[in-house]
């Protein structure tokens, strides 16, 4: 595939994202409410999506754009001792689900990123999140797919995996932008 074809594919995935901008704005508002009230975001993904999960939590604990309070967010894929111990003792399908069961409380938000929407460990994590009473949102490739079906809501993007993954990084930034815009003034300290 030529670079031009790759970039055309990315444009298609981004067009799919643009069509779902209202969902991202709504998610940002809900996330701002939940985290301001003491909730926590738990994020997970495999491979490149693991990097995006970490990217999202870093923006929330640090900051995206505005100077403001830190918020609680954990990338479950970065918990190397938990991932390796749970994977070793319970199997790779449980590496995120067990952490979700340990950390998630009602009022929390679980964000699961996948290009295929088929990774068994993310499907298990979605079930664990719902069982814990948390909100479960999935970022996936083309719908229908099992993860989109298992989550309460999904941002499903068209395109091949690499393009979906690239567009998901834009979606992560868009969510952070919507989140910071929706934060109550009390927790915002723009300099």
Smallest distance from ligand I22 to CB 90, Å: 19
For ligand I22, the binding residues in 45-64 under the rule CB under 6 A are 46-49
Smallest distance from ligand I22 to CB 86, Å: 17
Interaction of residue 168 with ligand I22, rule CB under 6 A: no
Interaction of residue 165 with ligand I22, rule CB under 6 A: yes
Q: Is 127 exposed, middle or buried (0-12, 13-18, 19+ CB in 10 A)?
A: middle
How far are the Cα atoms of 18, 39, 44 from residue 141, in angstroms, in the given order?
Answer: 14, 27, 15
Pick the binder of ligand I22 from 162, 169, 170, 181 (CB under 6 A).
Answer: 162
Interaction of residue 116 with ligand I22, rule CB under 6 A: yes
Smaller CB distance to ligand I22: residue 29 or 120? 120
Length of the chain: 191
**DSSP run (H or E) holding 136:** strand 135-140
Q: Which residues contact 71 (CB under 8 A, 6 or more apart)?
A: 35, 36, 41, 60, 61
Q: Which residue has the tokens 């909100």?
A: 135
Pick the binder of ligand I22 from 54, 119, 145, 168 (CB under 6 A).
Answer: 119
Residues in contact with ligand I22 by CB under 6 A are 46-49, 114-116, 118-119, 161-162, 165
């Amino acid at each position: 595939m030529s670079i031009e074809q790759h970039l055309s594919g990315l444009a298609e995935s981004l067009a799919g994202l643009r069509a779902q901008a209202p969902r991202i704005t709504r998610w940002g508002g809900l996330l701002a409410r939940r985290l301001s009230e003491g909730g926590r975001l738990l994020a997970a993904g495999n491979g490149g999506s693991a990097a995006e999960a970490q990217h999202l939590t870093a923006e929330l604990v640090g900051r995206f754009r505005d100077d403001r309070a830190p918020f609680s967010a954990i990338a479950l894929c970065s918990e190397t001792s938990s991932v390796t111990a749970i994977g070793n003792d319970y199997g790779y399908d449980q590496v995120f689900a067990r952490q979700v069961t340990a950390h998630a409380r009602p009022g929390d938000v679980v964000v699961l990123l996948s290009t295929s929407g088929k990774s068994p460990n993310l499907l298990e994590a979605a079930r664990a999140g719902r069982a814990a009473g948390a909100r479960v949102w999935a970022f996936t490739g083309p719908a229908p797919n099992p993860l989109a079906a298992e989550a309460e809501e999904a941002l499903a993007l068209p395109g091949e995996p690499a393009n979906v993954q690239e567009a998901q990084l834009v979606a992560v930034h868009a969510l952070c932008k919507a989140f910071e815009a929706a934060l109550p003034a009390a927790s915002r300290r723009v300099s």
